A and B are shown apart, each in its own frame.
Chain A
Amino acid sequence: MSSPRGNPPPAAGGSRAGDADSADRPPPPVPASGHPAGRTGWVEWLEQRLNLTEIFSFLTHFGLVYAPIDRSRPVREVVRELATQPVPSYARGPRVLGLLAAILFGLEALTGVLLAYYYRPTPEAAFESTRTIVRDLPAGWFIHEMHAWGAYLLVAVVVLRLLRLFWDGLYRAPREVLWWSAVILAWLVLQLDFTGRLLTWDARSYWSTVRGMEVVWALPVVGPVLAFLLGGRVVNEDVLIRFYVLHLLVLPAFYLTFVYLTFSTLRRVGLSPPADSGPEGTVTFRHHLYSMLILSVLLFGVLVTLATLLPFGFAGPADPYSTPLGVRPPWYMLAPYALFQRLPLPAWVTGLLLLGAAVAVLLLPLWIRERGVLEPRRLRTAGVAALAVWAALSVVGMLIDRR
């Protein structure tokens, strides 16, 4: 299992050359730079960044590909080797946000399945069934609040992880795939949150979805297509059932795929070294596993505390004919909402700007490679400035409909 990866510490050291702290050094030869890969073809380029062989052998497990069976390694030996596998000791704290996201996702899946047992996705029954879950079922409120708070933390963790990757410059070769999957994972989590909050069909969630759909609809070209996929402009039973299917089936499937892609990249290119790197020790994988377990237990404790002490509760059932005061889109849509509401430009121009920004973030690695010489320190400053603008716009969006 570990044989195709080789020995990780040298791999980590090797990839360090292309990283944030060492950008002023001349670019190293192979495998950090993508230039030779450009000549040898995209499969080779990808192979330097992903465990393509393992993905391929993963397919053989389903019998899709006929391949010889590896009988040489008994499972006990594999597990023992795994437990003693060295892991760099800096893999903790803010550098394991991805793991936290994975754990939270598992928790969301578990509580989500329990909720789905009683939930009915029609406008007539949605609110009633949610209220039954929260009010009448034993510990239903706990499951519901865990799901809601878990989603809140998941969004926070995924966004923080994106910031951390940006800060440590982990979008550079050979980690482009890591960055892309991180951006897409963040987007998927936001979509999961957006589709999930409508399902309770209470006045607050309903109207915040209506506002959110206005933002989606205003994006040029992409907006109508997206809104069509989400069920149309008017939030009605069609939208509800689509949100339900997306929330339960489609988005989690994509999410799992990209989680797999993330882990595959990590295994191939190694864990990233810290920015202020020095020679640091390694621990065994068993030790690392216990650390992660402790972190998970702590996370679970925090989640339980939040769910118990600060329950979200509900507003009344949604009424499409009466808008409550002070409805806002979900918080992560406040900034685009503020732009659409306050920017003295046609909506399609604003939408184009937003789409451009999104594409720029997604294509950051390629963009960096084109420029090549942009200093990491200046890039960080630019990122912080962009974040400040985003936060300011969110505040503006929050103040728009306040009474």
Chain B
Amino acid sequence: MARRGMAGRLGEVVVALALACATGPAARAQPSDVISHPGSSPAQASNAAGRCGVCHPRERVLFEKSRHAQEDIHCVSCHGGDDRTLDQGVAHGSGFRGRPARSAIPALCASCHASEERMRAYNLPVDQFALYQTSGHGRRLASGDTRVAVCSDCHGAHDILPPSDPASYVFALNVPKTCGRCHGDSTLMRPRGRRDAYREYQASVHAHELFDKGNPRAPTCVSCHGVHGAAPPQVGDVDKVCGQCHTAERRYFVAGPHREGLTRAGQPECASCHGDHAIQAARPERLSTLCSQCHGEPSQQARLGRRLWTEYRAAAQEVDKAAAILERAEAVPLQTADYRARLEEARTYLRESLPAAHGMNEETVSGFTLRARWVSAEIEHEIYGKLGNLRTRKFVLILFWFYVLLTILVLRRFRGRATRVE
């Protein structure tokens, strides 16, 4: 701040005048009242580029949109040199860093972002650099491979925006594309023994949720791999990663036999059945076919899978039947609000039976499916009872017709008497 005193402000005026002259008469024809209202307009942010922008207009445009430009960070903060002069010799003089080497970038960013004093005012974490050093990217960089992601590859160099900004490279919906710039590039990934995870992810149910439904809470790359400490989860950790969201599934999975067996066999836990990047929506009918893929066809496990699927299907059919009869009752119409709530209860049990199937314990699963069936059957029974009132109506109708015929007979008698009197 001390550097930018009276002289700096004077310099700005000079730059402004110089720009006005350089852009010609068209610019001069504009009204000059922009100068009379300083402070409120984003034009003030343009000061952040100092005089560097005169020779580096492209970088200046990018930088002026960035978060840094709003927070008194200037070109010289990263690049060194002097932004108060137009003399290239002086500007690129003492302490000038130029374009930082890729290997130096994380440390350069960390010179501010690892400082608790500097970051406190923004309530930003300061552990990114430490995390980065533990990540796959950081470890490769330390081993001398400079063609790995550094801070600027994900966040941008000049145009850094906060992750909450939809234009940011690290906004939730942009994260897969940002990672995919490298991880979707097979020339970069194949020598390092990595697959094209970006394309696989795009086919997944997670990507469908993120892109097609626009749900910003859907998992992106960083949800499973970590942000600055990005690394593939190891065998033994996969269920913990998935379990961050799929809590019920993990609870049953950990209690079941698969976790230990898969870990011992060196197979990734959840990914062994569901896949890793191209995860598809879980379809309950796969219970009947998937087990035999590892356990073989005439096995106890394959039979268990088929039994679980049968139980689930029976319960689902019962719930559907209850829903259908509820629709019928609604159309009569009968009062159905209570039954709607109980149908939701049955649906909840049915839904819970799917996570429970991860425990491979038939009793737990049938506990839920039986409860779903029981509640559904109860709804059906009671609504049938109420619809039975309609049958009562029909019975009453028969009685009513007896009464009508009786009345008509009496009236006919009266009529006959009326005729006789005449």
Enumerate the 3 nearest inter-chain pairs by beta-carbon distance, A residue then B residue, closest first.
Answer: A290-B415, A301-B404, A286-B418
Determine whether A135 belongs to the interface, using a CB cutoff of 8 Å to chain B: yes
Which one of B102-110, B338-346, B405-413 is at the A interface? Answer: B405-413
Evaluate contact between A313 and B333: CB separation under 8 angstroms. yes
Residues of chain B within 8 A (CB-CB) of A284 are 418-419, 422
Taking a contact as CB atoms under 8 Å apart, the answer to whether B419 and A300 are in contact is: no
Cβ A301 vs Cβ B401 within 8 A? yes
List 16 additional A-B contacts (Cβ < 8 Å) besides A301-B401, A308-B393, A309-B397.
A134-B333, A135-B333, A287-B419, A287-B422, A290-B412, A290-B414, A291-B415, A294-B415, A297-B408, A297-B411, A298-B404, A301-B400, A305-B397, A309-B394, A313-B333, A314-B331
Given A136-B335, A313-B333, verify A304-B397 contact (CB < 8 Å).
yes
Residues of A that sit less than 8 Å from B by CB: 83-84, 131, 134-136, 283-284, 286-287, 290-291, 293-294, 297-298, 300-301, 304-305, 308-309, 311, 313-314
Q: List, in ascending order, chain B residues with CB within 8 A of A311's CB.
A: 332
Contact of A294 among B334, B401, B411, B418 (CB under 8 A): B411
Contact between B408 and A294 (Cβ–Cβ < 8 Å)? yes
Contact string, B298-317, partner A, CB cutoff 8 A, digits 1/0?
00000000000000000000
Question: Which residues from chain A contact B419 at a C-beta distance below 8 Å?
Answer: 283-284, 287
**Which partner residue on chain A sits nearest B397 by CB separation?**
A308
Q: Mark B320-349, 1 if CB is under 8 A from A, else 0.
A: 000000000001111100000000000000
List A contacts of B401 (CB < 8 A). Answer: 301, 305
CA A290 to CA B421, docked complex, whole Å: 14
Whole-angstrom CA separation of A283 from B419 in the bound complex:
7
Contact of B333 among A84, A294, A298, A314 (CB under 8 A): A314
Contact of A287 among B334, B408, B415 (CB under 8 A): B415
Interfacial chain A residues near B393, Cβ < 8 Å: 308
Hey, which chain B residues are within 8 Å of A287, CB to CB?
A: 415, 418-419, 422
Smallest CB separation, B337 vs chain A (Å):
10
Using known A-B contacts A284-B418, A284-B419, A308-B394, determine if residue A131 contacts B404 with beta carbons closer than 8 Å.
no
Q: Do residues A297 and B404 form an inter-chain contact, with CB atoms below 8 A?
A: yes
- Give chain A nearest CB distance to B75 CB in angstroms: 55
Given contacts A308-B393, A313-B331, A314-B333, contact A293 B400 (CB under 8 A): no
- Among B364-412, those with CB < 8 Å from A are 393-394, 397, 400-401, 404, 407-408, 411-412
> In the assembled complex, how far is the CB of residue B65 from the closest CB belonging to chain A, in whole angstroms?
40
Q: Which residues of B contact A283 (CB under 8 A)?
A: 419, 422
Query: Which chain A residues lie closer than 8 Å to B400 at the CB level?
Result: 301, 304
Count class of interface residues, chain B: 20 to 34
CB distance from A134 to the nearest CB of B (A): 6
Report yes or no: B333 in contact with A131, Cβ–Cβ below 8 A.
yes
A293 to B410, CA, bound (A): 11
User: With A284-B422, A314-B331 given, is the CB distance from A297 to B394 under 8 Å?
Assistant: no
Q: Are A297 and B418 in contact (CB under 8 A)?
A: no
Q: Tell me the complex Cα distance, A304–B397, Å.
A: 8
CB neighbours (8 Å) of B415 from chain A are 287, 290-291, 294
Residues in A with CB closer than 8 Å to B422 are 84, 283-284, 287
Separation in Å of the B327 CB from the closest CB of chain A?
A: 11
Q: Report A373 CB to chain B, min CB distance, Å.
A: 44
**What's the minimum C-beta distance from B160 to chain A, rounded to whole angstroms?**
44
Question: Which residues from chain B contact A84 at a C-beta distance below 8 Å?
Answer: 422
Distance between B64 CB and nearest chain A CB, rounded to angstroms: 45
Find chain B residues with CB under 8 A from A297 CB. Answer: 404, 407-408, 411
CA distance in complex: A170, B393 (Å)? 43
Which chain B residues border A309 with CB–CB below 8 Å? 394, 397
CA distance A100 to B412 in the complex (A): 19
Q: Is there contact, CB below 8 Å, between A135 and B394?
A: no
Q: Which residue of B lies closest to A291 (CB)?
A: B415
Which residues B152-206 have CB closer than 8 A to chain A? none
Bound form: Cα–Cα A116–B400 in Å? 27
Known: A135-B335, A300-B404, A313-B333. A290 touches B418 (CB 8 A): yes
Partner of B408, one of A83, A135, A298: A298
Q: B334 contacts which chain A residues (CB < 8 A)?
A: 135
Q: Which residues of A contact B333 (CB under 8 A)?
A: 131, 134-135, 313-314
A-B contact pairs, 15 of them (CB 8 A): A131-B333, A135-B332, A135-B333, A283-B422, A284-B422, A290-B415, A294-B411, A298-B404, A301-B401, A301-B404, A304-B397, A308-B393, A308-B394, A309-B394, A313-B333
Complexed CA–CA distance, A134 and B330 (Å): 11
- Give complex CA distance A328, B43 in Å: 62
Report chain B residues within 8 Å CB of A293: 411
> In the complex, what's the smallest C-beta–C-beta distance from B232 to chain A, in angstroms?
48
**A305 / chain B contacts, CB cutoff of 8 Å:** 397, 401
A35 to B335, CA, bound (A): 66
Give, as a whole number of angstroms, the nearest-CB distance from A319 to chain B. Answer: 16
Residues of B within 8 A of A131 (CB): 333
Whole-angstrom CA separation of A300 from B404 in the bound complex:
9
Give complex CA distance A83, B335 in Å.
Answer: 51
CA distance A301 to B412 in the complex (A): 16
Q: How far is the CB of B86 from chain A (nearest CB, A)?
A: 63
* Closest A residue, CB atoms, query B414: A290
User: A305 to chain B: closest CB distance in Å?
Assistant: 6
Contacts of B412 in A (CB 8 A): 290, 294
Cα–Cα, bound, A293→B407 (Å): 10
Query: What residues of A have a CB within 8 angstroms of the CB of B335 in the complex?
Result: 135-136
Minimal beta-carbon separation of A82 from chain B (angstroms): 13
- In the complex, which residues of chain B have a beta carbon less than 8 angstroms from the beta carbon of A300? 404
User: Which residues of chain B in 117-169 are interfacial with respect to chain A, using CB atoms and an 8 Å cutoff?
Assistant: none
* Whole-angstrom CA separation of A314 from B419 in the bound complex: 48
